[in-house]
Structure 1
């Protein structure tokens, strides 16, 4: 008798987070997962690639609860990440990320899904005595609170990402950073211009492609164990001066960290950078405690090893991605 497949439906499967989750689950050799991806455009190139890999691609608009109910129906579990950078959220008097998240969660519940992993954040006011509000953090926290308060899930876990390694592959971000890691300044340095993070405390970085999906995979292997918990998605922890030194040592390129005078100086002429500026104000207010508590890689490494074992790998040899190896591979001299 064939073992029934456990369908895991991914909302945001063509984004960095969702794609990483999808690829990790596809490598599972023991859990009988079937991955389903929700998309507004099943004919897109990214969706066609997923389909060829064995993913069930279904059409669905996150703003339509009936679409969400149909798309999630029959699923054992779900992973959801809403795109905070969607231009629709910057429209005056427009819908919010919470509005979208609520519709998706309602659709998941109507579809009968009992296990949910939600990409989330803690509210900015939690660690600042209610003094701060940051839209992205607060919206994602509100979605998480709503999902938990429905009481409709057997298990629900929240995963909170650190700073993406992959951000440093973007030339747009390099211009915001005033050069690093692509454009040398007049003195020949790749200079990273950012405000200080806390008291030069370690900032949490996550390799989304290499690690994030495995962490979610690890949660889904035993969702009852992680029920109600918030998991830090962290691959490496370094202060900004250490970060730039690691880059130089790994790539052989001249680089330096140039602290901006204050968090207000980051992209000060760019309205879309408001949350980015406030994030560094948050770091200042919390002494660099991005997750409220100290950053730690112990749980992410455990989850990575659990996923590796399910993928048929020797878990004892598995480690989280390091900035040094990632820089050498992605931005080393051979990649120039």
Structure 2
């Protein structure tokens, strides 16, 4: 029997990393072992991953020697760095690129052969220098650094669309006019956001249901994905279609009211400065959130099928989760959330 290939997962206790761990561990042929790299193996999330069968290993991403030791024997890695880590808010501290470089150097030192990196297209490149969006551009710089090492047999960037799960966050809902939790004074669930762009639609992904299977699908044949960015999108809809989908799924009257300017999004909230720039980026590029990769679910659907089938799933379980079905599950009658709708009167 062939020994399982060990995949290191960075950010394993986060939403993306956790989804990857769960999908790989569910592989029916047991061809993967998972090593979850974390700074805190004693956290509840780390213990939950260990209970599922992951090997949980402590390592500090800033320490190349420690990381290389933790990665010994790993065949591949999924890497996601947290752009919102408070350490990056301090201008005197190392940047996300510095952390990413340390991780890449560790992977090279440990002779890891494949990497799936959660990245973005470069805002600076696509807008010809008009915008520099720190999370997008630093992640892209990490990606380019990984390629420049000429070490890996495959480097596959995966670009995550707008998370379905962000709609579950009530704090985020207040920034978008209360959608999908609070009725406005006219009795609507109003989604209030800047316009996206003229050419391509916004895209959305279920991290918990789809993202892990996409990475799983890539790792089943990583060489064929070398250098090919993957748009991780479960559904593609305009904001007008989004509220129509929500209304159909839940019965709550809903509407989209565009903001006059992208500058109005989260105005006065410093933590949203870079999120605000995202709308400036999509307006400048015609909605090209994935850069030169078309906004489509085609690639994601193929990877979902491969990854899900490797977990023994078929039919609807091997297909991407439509946004409407997810809305119905989370906000429809009987979901629990529908009974918690607040009035805006």
- TM-score, length-scaled by structure 2: 0.94
Contact 2:301–2:319, Cα closer than 8 Å, also in 1: yes
Match for residue 322 of structure 1?
Answer: 322
Give the Å deviation of 1:31: 5.2
CA distance in structure 2 between the partners assigned to 1:311 and 1:217 by the alignment: 9
Instruction: Give the secondary structure class of the aligned counterpart of 1:333.
Output: coil
Match for residue 46 of structure 2?
Answer: 47
Give the Å deviation of 1:92: 2.5
Contact 1:200–1:240, Cα closer than 8 Å, also in 2: no
Q: Deviations over 1:59-114 (max 9, x none)?
A: 11112112211121110110000001111111122221101101111111111101
Give the Å deviation of 1:12: 0.4
Match for residue 277 of structure 2?
Answer: 278
Contact 1:31–1:310, Cα closer than 8 Å, also in 2: no
Contact 2:249–2:325, Cα closer than 8 Å, also in 1: yes
Question: Which one is further off, 209-218 or 118-127?
Answer: 118-127
Instruction: Give the secondary structure class of the aligned counterpart of 2:3.
Output: coil
Give the Å deviation of 1:178: 2.1
Instruction: Give the secondary structure class of the aligned counterpart of 2:192.
Output: strand
Give the Å deviation of 1:199: 2.5
Match for residue 155 of structure 1?
Answer: 154
Q: What is the total number of aligned residue pairs between the two structures?
A: 335
Instruction: Give the secondary structure class of the aligned counterpart of 2:215.
Output: helix
Give the Å deviation of 1:146: 0.4
CA distance in structure 2 between the partners assigned to 1:111 and 1:164 by the alignment: 32
- TM-score, length-scaled by structure 1: 0.97
Q: Segments of 4+ in structure 1 off by > 6 A?
A: none
Match for residue 303 of structure 1?
Answer: 303
Name stretches of at least 5 consecutive residues in structure 1 with no aligned partner. Answer: none
Match for residue 218 of structure 1?
Answer: 217
Instruction: Give the secondary structure class of the aligned counterpart of 2:224.
Output: coil
Instruction: Give the secondary structure class of the aligned counterpart of 2:236.
Output: strand
Q: Does 2:84 match 1:85?
A: yes
Match for residue 105 of structure 1?
Answer: 104
RMSD, matched Cα? 1.4
Give the Å deviation of 1:17: 0.3
Give the Å deviation of 1:43: 1.0
CA distance in structure 2 between the partners assigned to 1:309 and 1:254 by the alignment: 38
Q: Deviations over 1:262-316 (max 9, x none)?
A: 0000011011111111110111101111112330111111111111221122368
Instruction: Give the secondary structure class of the aligned counterpart of 1:320.
Output: coil
Contact 1:120–1:140, Cα closer than 8 Å, also in 2: yes
Distance 1:33 1:317, change over 3 A: closer
Name stretches of at least 5 consecutive residues in structure 2 with no aligned partner. Answer: 338-345
Give the Å deviation of 1:332: 1.4
